[in-house]
Amino acid sequence: MPHNNIPENWRRFCRRGRYRVQDQEASVKKSINEDGSVVGYHSGFRLDPNLKATAAMYPSHDHLSGRNNDANMVVDARFVNDMKTILSEEEFWIMVEHLYAIGRSKGTIPAREAQILPAGWHPLRDYA
C-alpha cells in the first residue's frame, strides 16, 4: 500500500514541472511503495527523478481523465506516457492487449506465460 511521504528528490522533481506542485505531488504519492521508491503507475518500473530529461525512463506525469484535469495525474516513465498520450487508461490497456495478440500471431512473442521485465530494464535508446 502506497504511503504519503514524498522523498526529497521527488519533491524537487515536482517543483520543476509545469503543473501545480500539489498536483504533481499527488501524482507521485499514488506510486510510492512501502520502501519509499516510486514506481510507474502503468508499468511498475522503478523511477528515478535524477535522470536526464532526455532519458526514456525519465519520470513523466500522465493525465488519467483528460489533459485539463491536472488533479488526476499519475507518474510513469516518459516513454510509457508517450505511448499512452492520447489514450484513456482503458484504451491504453486494450492497446497493450492488442499488441500482445498481434505479437503472438506474428510469432514475435513466443507461446509462454506473459513475462515481467527484469529490474533495471530500460529501452536502449533515449530521446535526442
**Residue-wise pLDDT tens digits, 46-83:** 999 999 999 999 999 999 888 888 999 999 999 999 99
How far apart CA 28 and CA 2 sit, in angstroms, is 10
Mean residue pLDDT across the chain: 91
How far apart CA 5 and CA 32 sit, in angstroms, is 8
pLDDT above 90 (res 85):
no
pLDDT of residue 75: 96
pLDDT above 50 (res 13):
yes
3-class SS of residue 14: helix
C-alpha distances out from residue 8 to 11, 14, 37, 98, 110, Å? 5, 10, 11, 39, 42
